[in-house]
C-alpha cells in the first residue's frame, strides 16, 4: 500500500502536466467527498449516506465556483475555495433540510 500512494501521486502529477484538467478536477472532488465522509465518522451512517447520495449533485451545482478555484492564481485561491466550500457544505443536508456541515475556515 505504501507504494500505491507515491505511484498514484506521480500519476496525478503527470496527468496534470499533460493537461488533463478534468481528471485532476474529478480526482480532487473525489478526495473532498472522501474527506467529508471521514468528517462524518464511522458512527454516523446517516451522514455518510447523505454525502454519498448528495455530493455529486451538489458538486455539479457548485461547478462554477469549483472551476474558478481550480483555475485560480495563488492570490485568489482562498477566497474562491471559501465560496465553493460555503455552497457545497450548505447543499448536503439531512432529512429536515439542515446542512450536515458548516464551513469554518479557522
Q: pLDDT tens digits for 78-96?
A: 899 899 999 999 999 999 9
By the 8 A CB rule, do 25 and 70 touch?
yes
Residue 16, in any domain of the structure: yes
Residue 63, in any domain of the structure: yes
From the number of C-beta atoms within 10 Å of its C-beta (0-12, 13-18, 19+), residue 24 rates as: middle
Tally of domains within the chain: 1
Distance in angstroms (rounded) separating the CA atoms of residues 82 and 103: 8
Residue 102, in any domain of the structure: no
pLDDT in tens, 8-25: 455 555 555 545 667 777
| Rounded-to-10 torsion of CA 24, 51, 103, 64 | 40
Confidence (pLDDT) at 12: 53
Residue 101, in any domain of the structure: no
Measured between its terminal Cα atoms, the distance across the chain in Å is 33
Single pTM value for the model: 0.74
Residue 98, in any domain of the structure: no
Q: At what angle do helices 63-70 and 45-61 cross, to 10 degrees?
A: 80
Counting Cα atoms < 13 Å in the Cβ hemisphere of 97 gives 0
Residue 99, in any domain of the structure: no
Residue 104, in any domain of the structure: no
Model confidence at 74, pLDDT cuts 50, 70, 90, reads confident
Residue 41, in any domain of the structure: yes
Show the domain range for 37: 4-91
Amino acid at each position: 500500500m505504501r507504494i500505491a500512494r507515491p505511484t498514484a501521486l506521480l500519476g496525478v502529477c503527470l496527468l496534470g502536466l499533460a493537461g488533463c484538467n478534468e481528471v485532476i478536477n474529478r480526482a480532487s472532488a473525489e478526495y473532498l467527498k472522501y474527506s467529508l465522509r471521514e468528517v462524518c465518522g464511522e458512527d454516523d451512517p446517516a451522514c455518510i449516506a447523505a454525502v454519498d447520495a448528495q455530493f455529486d449533485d451538489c458538486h455539479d451545482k457548485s461547478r462554477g465556483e469549483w472551476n474558478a478555484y481550480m483555475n485560480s492564481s495563488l492570490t485568489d485561491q482562498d477566497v474562491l475555495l471559501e465560496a465553493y466550500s460555503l455552497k457545497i457544505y450548505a447543499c448536503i443536508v439531512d432529512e429536515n433540510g439542515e446542512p450536515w456541515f458548516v464551513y469554518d475556515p479557522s
